[in-house]
Every structure is written in C-alpha cells, then in structure tokens.
C-alpha cells in the first residue's frame, strides 16, 4: 500500500483498520475555525481561601471573580487606564 505523505502514522493505522475517514487536508492552514482570538481574555487561576471567606463570598450577590477583582483594584489603587475594558 502506498502511504500518502500528508497523513501521520496514526492516521494511516486508522485508515488501515477502517476506523476513520480522512478528509481533504488541502489548505487546512488557511481555514480559521472556531472563535476569534480575544486579546484581553480573562484567565482561570486556582486560589485557596479560608472557609469563612469562601462562605461569605457565596452569600454575596456578585460572583467571586467580581468581588476579588473589585477588592484588589480598590485596595491596591490600580489605575483605571491599566484596565483595557474601561475606555
């Protein structure tokens, strides 16, 4: 069997076993699928808090992220011009 040069060994094994269908890969780099890139996207971090603080935050109407963000901005007096969302 002749192996095309544009597929990987894993794809070739799938083809040999009849498990997968390989679609045309021509110009696959030119196609931009999915959501557009968001430059100022928020990132998720892990944070350990004392149980009493977590309980208090759960009782608040705002989300934990909003509470923490607002508290940090106020406490450290972070200038508004550093926030790209405030224009």
Is residue 20 situated within a structural domain? no
What whole-number distance in Å separates Cα of residue 66 and Cα of residue 44?
A: 13
Percent of the chain with pLDDT over 90: 37
Note the pLDDT of residue 69.
Answer: 92
Mean pLDDT of the chain: 78
Is residue 78 situated within a structural domain? yes
DSSP category for residue 82: G
Alpha helices by DSSP H, the chain: 9-17, 51-59, 64-76
What is the Cα Rg of the chain in Å? 25
Is residue 11 situated within a structural domain? no
What whole-number distance in Å separates Cα of residue 87 and Cα of residue 82?
A: 10
pLDDT bracket for residue 24 (50, 70, 90): very low
Q: How many folded domains does the chain comprise?
A: 1
Is residue 21 situated within a structural domain? no
More confident residue, 55 or 12: 55
What whole-number distance in Å separates Cα of residue 10 and Cα of residue 20?
A: 10
Is residue 7 situated within a structural domain? no
pLDDT by residue (tens digit) across 42-66?
A: 888 999 999 999 999 999 999 999 9
């Amino acid at each position: 069997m002749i192996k095309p040069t544009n597929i990987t060994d894993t794809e070739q094994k799938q083809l040999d076993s009849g498990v997968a269908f390989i679609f045309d890969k021509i110009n696959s780099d030119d196609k931009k699928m999915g959501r557009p890139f968001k430059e100022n996207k928020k990132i998720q971090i892990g944070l350990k808090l004392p149980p009493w603080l977590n309980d208090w935050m759960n009782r608040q109407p705002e989300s934990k992220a909003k509470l923490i963000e607002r508290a940090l901005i106020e406490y450290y007096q972070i200038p508004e011009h550093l926030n790209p969302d405030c224009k």
